[in-house]
């Protein structure tokens, strides 16, 4: 039986599209559903040919309607891919150690509420950091504090900008997030 994942997004959905694409022909893992709380996300406009069920929800539906749907799906893993809303405690209790997130810094540095995307890369450059990277972690009841599953670092070059860092981080995310998902589901 295939392992099922559910993905949550708030943005454009490039990480979700990458994950769907990686597992499209897998006989072991399938993306059961993608949820977005951004009604303007291109992923909702059917601009993917991956034939995955994708739904918009308003934030007030997260605790009841969406939670009930996900219990019915019964995923093996819930994957946050640029999802900016805090996951309610009922999810964390019900889906214990089954919710993961990817963060565009080396946690615990540059984590917490409001720290995402270019805000992080701006701070990293502002603080003259020598390296940055990605962290994949379990979701806990606090932003970006769950147990770390995987980290990958890269050096920051003198000529790096917020844009070049963002591109480098996206490459790491696209390469490693599907691999970590697979390693968690297929032992």
Q: What is the full per-residue pLDDT of the chain (187 aa) written as tens digits?
A: 899 999 999 988 899 999 999 999 999 999 999 999 998 888 877 655 667 888 999 999 999 999 999 999 999 999 999 998 999 999 999 999 999 999 999 999 999 998 988 999 999 999 999 999 999 999 999 999 999 999 999 999 999 999 999 999 999 999 999 999 999 999 8
CA 90 vs. chain centroid, Å, equals 19
Tell me whether residue 103 is one of the annotated catalytic residues. yes
- Pair of tokens at residue 173: 């995310």
Which residues neighbour 142 within 8 Å (Cβ) at sequence distance 6 or greater?
Answer: none
Q: What is the pTM of this model?
A: 0.95
């Amino acid at each position: 039986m295939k392992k099922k994942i559910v993905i949550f997004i708030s943005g454009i959905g490039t990480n979700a599209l990458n994950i769907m694409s990686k597992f499209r022909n897998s006989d072991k893992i399938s993306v059961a559903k993608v949820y977005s709380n951004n009604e303007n996300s291109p992923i909702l406009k059917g601009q993917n040919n991956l034939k995955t069920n994708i739904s918009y929800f308003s934030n007030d539906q997260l605790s009841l309607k969406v939670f009930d749907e996900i219990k019915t799906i019964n995923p093996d893993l819930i994957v946050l891919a640029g999802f900016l809303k805090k996951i309610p405690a009922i999810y964390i209790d019900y889906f214990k150690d089954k919710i993961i997130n990817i963060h565009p810094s080396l946690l615990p540095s540059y984590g917490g509420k409001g720290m995402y995307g270019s805000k992080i890369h701006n701070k990293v450059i502002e603080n003259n950091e020598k390296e940055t990277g990605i962290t994949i972690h379990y979701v806990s009841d606090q932003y970006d504090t769950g147990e770390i599953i995987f980290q990958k670092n890269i050096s920051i070059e003198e000529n790096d900008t917020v844009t070049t860092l963002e591109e480098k981080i996206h490459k790491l995310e696209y390469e490693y997030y599907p691999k970590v998902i697979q390693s968690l589901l297929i032992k």
